[in-house]
Amino acid sequence: MRYKAYLRLERGYSGNTLDAYLSDLSKLLKYFEGEGIDPIHATLQDLEHFSAGLADIGIHERSQARILSGVRSFYRFLELEKEIRQSPAELLESPQIGVHLPDVLSVEEIDTLIGAIDRTKQEGQRNRAILETLYSCGLRVSELCNLKMSDLFLEEGFIKVEGKGSKQRLVPISPRAIKELELYFTQRNQIQIKRGEEDFVFLSFRRGTHIGRIMVFHFIKELCEATGIRKTVSPHTFRHSFATHLLEGGANLRAIQAMLGHESIATTEIYTHIDRSRLREEILLHHPRNIKYFQEHQKDTKIP
């Protein structure tokens, strides 16, 4: 398919992003097939009916917005290829999405999770290195799984990360994460590694291939259950926590943007909302006039 080649070569999308765009496009094409609509001759009204149908079947606003973004991309491609004169998706509106404040782990909670990993198990040290690297470098889980030995510059204190759209960035790595990696490398040297997998950092002890995202999700879920942490925690939570803790510590938003690999500063600005909400909590708890109010309120409501 020419559109697939366009996404991969012209837009530089990675495998996961490419699959998502094609999957979303298939939803539109299936809808058009059922309605007897030729995609080349589709109108804005046809696309609005498709959009309304997504809402009717209960697809979340964020997923709707992603699907419609793919629709606009497809019609831009048709326009570039001179298949159509003008994209009918130009004025197609996406649903309004409110700011979602993700769960953030405290430093103590992160220490608790890492401390709960059983080092006596074969994968224990590897999993400690995984969590330290996720938190120390603010990586996406796909970036972690695809991290290569040739991307590590541990003596200099940096790692090279390939993010979305195959864009590369250098990210500082903490001494603690370096120590956990070096301890893991002792075990890694004993793994029977499959051909073609030699350069991946994090490997499956059983298969000898690089780890997948599901495995990381699974062991983090198990750790949360074991430690009684009831927040919604995923590998991405460590990335959120990394950014939030940096901002709370006074790091510049542009520096955080560079470390996270965000193309737009607007994506990074979600962390200012988190920081402000925490700031409000601190003020409510510690401002002298609030303390006085709460003390008086407690007196008024005390049971005799």
Give the count of beta carbons closer than 10 Å to the beta carbon of residue 95: 15
Q: What is the rounded CA–CA span in Å between residue 143 and residue 256? A: 17
Asked whether the predicted pLDDT for residue 293 surpasses 80, the reply is no
Identify the CA nearest to 184 among candidates 249, 114, 242: 114
Q: Among the options 126, 140, 188, 210, which is catalytic? A: 140
Q: What is the rounded CA–CA span in Å between residue 14 and residue 53? A: 29
Supply the pLDDT for residue 207: 93
Catalytic (active site) residue 195: no
- As given in the structure block, the two tokens for residue 95 are 């649903």
Supply the pLDDT for residue 247: 77
Dihedral-angle region of residue 249 (phi above 0 means left; psi in -120 to 50 means alpha; beta otherwise): alpha
Q: What is the CA radius of gyration of the chain?
A: 24
- pLDDT tens track for 237-271: 898 888 888 877 777 777 777 778 776 666 666 66
Identify the CA nearest to 77 among candidates 149, 7, 167: 7
Q: What is the mean pLDDT of the chain?
A: 83
Give the list of residues 6+ apart from residue 244 with CB closer than 8 angstroms, or none.
104, 271, 274, 275
Q: What is the rounded CA–CA span in Å between residue 185 and residue 178? A: 10
Name the H helices within the chain.
2-5, 15-35, 44-56, 61-80, 107-115, 124-137, 141-145, 175-188, 213-227, 235-248, 253-260, 265-268, 270-286, 288-301
Can you give the pTM of this predicted structure? 0.59
125: pLDDT confidence band, cut at 50, 70 and 90? very high
Q: Among the options 8, 164, 213, 278, which is catalytic? A: 164
Please give the torsion angle defined by the CA atoms of residues 127, 129, 135 and 141, in that order, rounded to the nearest 10 degrees: -60
Asked whether the predicted pLDDT for residue 281 surpasses 70, the reply is no
Catalytic (active site) residue 287: no
Q: Among the options 4, 76, 213, 262, which is catalytic? A: 262
Supply the pLDDT for residue 150: 96
Q: Among the options 188, 210, 239, 240, which is catalytic? A: 239
Distances (CA, A) of 301 to 33, 284, 291: 65, 19, 15
- For residues 105 and 58, the answer to whether their CB atoms sit within 8 Å is no
- For residues 3 and 25, the answer to whether their CB atoms sit within 8 Å is yes
Catalytic (active site) residue 140: yes
Catalytic (active site) residue 76: no
54: pLDDT confidence band, cut at 50, 70 and 90? confident
Domains recognised in the chain with CATH numbers: 2-80 (1.10.150), 107-278 (1.10.443.10)
Catalytic (active site) residue 289: no
Q: Among the options 27, 66, 72, 236, which is catalytic? A: 236
Catalytic (active site) residue 273: no
- For residues 236 and 139, the answer to whether their CB atoms sit within 8 Å is no
- As given in the structure block, the two tokens for residue 193 are 């590694």
